[in-house]
Amino acid sequence: MQTRLADWIRGTAQGEEADAILRRCVHCGFCLATCPTYNLLGDELDSPRGRIYLIKQALEGAPVTRRTQVHLDRCLTCRACETTCPSGVEYGKLVDIGRALVEEKVARSPGDRLRRWFLARTLPSRALFGAALAAGRAVRAVLPAALARKIPARRDAGAWPAARHARRMIALAGCVQPSMAPSINAAAARVLDRAGISLAEIAQAGCCGAVAFHLNYQHDGLDRARANIDAWWPHVESGAEAIVVTASGCGTMVKDYGHLLRGDAAYAAKAARISELAKDVSEVVAAERERLAPQLGTPARSRSIAFHSPCSLQHGLRINGVVEEILRDAGFELTPVPDGHLCCGSAGTYSLLEPEISRRLLHNKVRALESGGPELIATANIGCLAQLQSGAALPVVHWIELLDERLQRV
Ligand code: SF4
Ligand code: SF4
């Protein structure tokens, strides 16, 4: 694609990055077939190619309107288009640049601004979100059913094993996950303990920064990244082998710290190192398979699971088939899931900001997951877990909880 960037952006770091991405796009349109919003809405401007064109126009100095913003808002940032694109167009990076640019030029309504500000402040704060969730649980009985289903029941985390191994790794605690499902990181700690690795959460680290960053509070998101790097760095220097992330959405963000902070002289090198060390928990478990396999025994009965691979796992981190193989090795039967590449509609804060599209995606996803008659649904990201739980009749868990449960039974 030929570009002619406007003077005010040409030569800037953002302009050069966007230009390089735009030039790779050859308009072929292959990406349209796997875009969930194009599939639902049928409007070219709600497709990757259409959004790329809107961003190109904005970068070339064409007037930016509320309509441009609406089409960019409707994008789930699921990155299915990146997986499909034969030219390697890094759409996710481009849409971040485009959104920041449009945000500067198009004023949102006061209600929209307030909603986004509230989400960017509340969700990343463990204390605020924990208090809001506790209040929601207290009044769940009088809430509308659709809202009540979004509030997960309290789950017991179980014991966190004592640090006893020479091999050590750090777990990202995150922001909403400790309140919604503390059982997930605790399960990861128990599984890794059996593999001879001690896992520890670092109290000073918190939200990965993705919530604020993708709501266009990009500076806040980067500050959270810097705070995590500061909290983890002494442990990295003293030999922690990896930063283990059990929410694939957060893992995508942490793996991107190096790129996002590449222009920050004080943090660039550390951020690059942290990104190298960041691992989805499936990568760590897969590497320890030989050590864990003898501890699994043979299950009395094979349970059938539908696995929902989050967009952040399959398109963001490009980890495909790894969790499924771990679950099969552990004796679970995996049921077929049609259209597994499509988003469940969670997408960070998307389900709250674009509820109608999100609801339609959720409906389709639950139907696909339940079509093979599983007993349970498993996933790999807390946002997807909460979203699926709000629409599925079956229980929804993180896959590491299933592996932990299997290991506990032996
Ligand atoms: S598939 Fe890639 S090259 Fe083709 S239109 Fe989409 S983004 Fe552009
Ligand atoms: S990120 Fe997802 S929703 Fe957005 S354009 Fe790409 S495929 Fe479509």
- CA 212 from centroid of its chain's CA atoms: 13
In this prediction, residue 410 carries a pLDDT of: 62
Helix boundaries (H) for 155-256: 177-180, 183-194, 210-214, 218-237, 248-255
What is the layout of strands, in order, in the sheet containing 376-379?
333-334, 304-307, 376-379, 396-398
Pocket test for ligand 1, best of 21, 23, 27, 90 (most atoms within 8 A of CB): 27
In this prediction, residue 276 carries a pLDDT of: 98
pLDDT tens-place string over residues 85-105: 999 999 999 999 999 999 999
Ligand 2 and 84: CB distance under 6 A: no
Which ligand is closest in space to the CA of residue 87? 1
pLDDT above 80: residue 398: yes
Average pLDDT over residues 250-261: 98
Query: CA 199 to CA 167: how far, in whole Å?
Result: 9
pLDDT above 80: residue 364: yes
In the reported structure, the alpha carbon of residue 298 is separated from the centroid of ligand 1 by a whole-number distance in angstroms of 47
In this prediction, residue 326 carries a pLDDT of: 97
Strand partners, 243: 170, 278
Residue 185: partners with Cβ closer than 8 Å, 6 or more residues away: 157, 171, 173, 177, 178, 199, 201, 246
Query: CA 298 to CA 285: how far, in whole Å?
Result: 19
Residue by residue, DSSP assigns 266-292 as TTHHHHHHHHHHEEEHHHHHHHTHHHH
| Average pLDDT of the chain to the nearest whole number | 94
In the reported structure, the alpha carbon of residue 64 is separated from the centroid of ligand 1 by a whole-number distance in angstroms of 22
Strand partners, 168: 198
Closest atom, ligand 2, to C-alpha of 80: 7
CB neighbours (10 Å) of residue 347?
26
pLDDT above 90: residue 302: no
Per the structure block, which two tokens stand in for 86?
């034969």
Nearest 5°: the CA angle 317, 318, 320 is: 120
Query: CA 397 to CA 389: how far, in whole Å?
Result: 9
Torsion sign across C-alpha atoms 377, 378, 383, 386 = positive
In the reported structure, the alpha carbon of residue 260 is separated from the centroid of ligand 2 by a whole-number distance in angstroms of 20
In this prediction, residue 146 carries a pLDDT of: 67
How far the first Cα of the chain sits from its last, in Å, is 58
- In the structure, how many helices (H) and strands (E) does the chain have? 24, 8
Pick from 144-153, 174-183, 393-402: least confident: 144-153
Strand partners, 120: none
Per the structure block, which two tokens stand in for 387?
């979203």
In this prediction, residue 109 carries a pLDDT of: 95
Ligand 2 and 358: CB distance under 6 A: no
Residue 111: exposure state from Cβ atoms within 10 A (0-12, 13-18, ≥19): exposed
Residue 157, CA atoms < 13 Å, CB-side half-sphere: 14
Q: What residues does ligand 1 touch, defined as CB less than 6 Å away? A: 25-31, 48-49, 52, 81, 84-85, 87, 89
Ligand 2 and 51: CB distance under 6 A: yes
Mean pLDDT: which of 101-110, 133-142, 295-304 is highest? 101-110
CB neighbours (10 Å) of residue 28?
12
Ligand 2 and 342: CB distance under 6 A: no
**DSSP type of residue 159:** P
In this prediction, residue 409 carries a pLDDT of: 73
Ligand 2 and 345: CB distance under 6 A: no
What confidence category does residue 297 fall into, taking pLDDT thresholds of 50, 70 and 90? confident
Strand partners, 378: 307, 397
Residue pair 68/102 in contact (Cβ under 8 Å)? The answer is yes
In this prediction, residue 1 carries a pLDDT of: 84
Residue 162: partners with Cβ closer than 8 Å, 6 or more residues away: none
**DSSP type of residue 30:** G
